[in-house]
Amino acid sequence: MPTIHRRISILDSGEVARQIDAAALAWPGAFSRQQLARRLMAVGAEVAERERADEIARRLAALDQAAGLAQYPPGYLQAMADEWPS
């Protein structure tokens, strides 16, 4: 069927077959192998998004923790400016 969307091909063998088999055991029901593959991708995307959000939160927390650690003492910048010739 014509579409403007890219198509991808996934061969149902080896590691992919094992993963779909595991999904079939985890989600019993009337799922076809194609539906199981799509569900695996959806769950994987949710995990990836959650891991990315966690990484961003860790980095922001590290920035918050480091903020203010390298503060200059009072008058430091003026003393540096006074050292330069006029």
Give the Cα separation of 6 and 62 in Å (integer).
39
The residue ranking higher by pLDDT, 1 or 13, is 13
| Radius of gyration over every alpha carbon of the chain, rounded to an integer in angstroms | 27
Question: Does 8 fall in a domain?
Answer: no
Helix (H), strand (E), coil (C) string for 25-40: HHCCCCCCHHHHHHHH
Question: Does 5 fall in a domain?
Answer: no
Give the Cα separation of 82 and 67 in Å (integer).
27
Give the Cα separation of 79 and 73 in Å (integer).
10
Per-residue pLDDT band for 40 (boundaries 50, 70, 90) equals very high
Question: Does 36 fall in a domain?
Answer: yes
Q: How many domains does the chain have?
A: 1
Domain span at 19:
14-67
Taking the complete model, does pTM exceed 0.85, yes or no? no
CB 38: neighbour CB atoms within 10 A? 12
Question: Does 51 fall in a domain?
Answer: yes
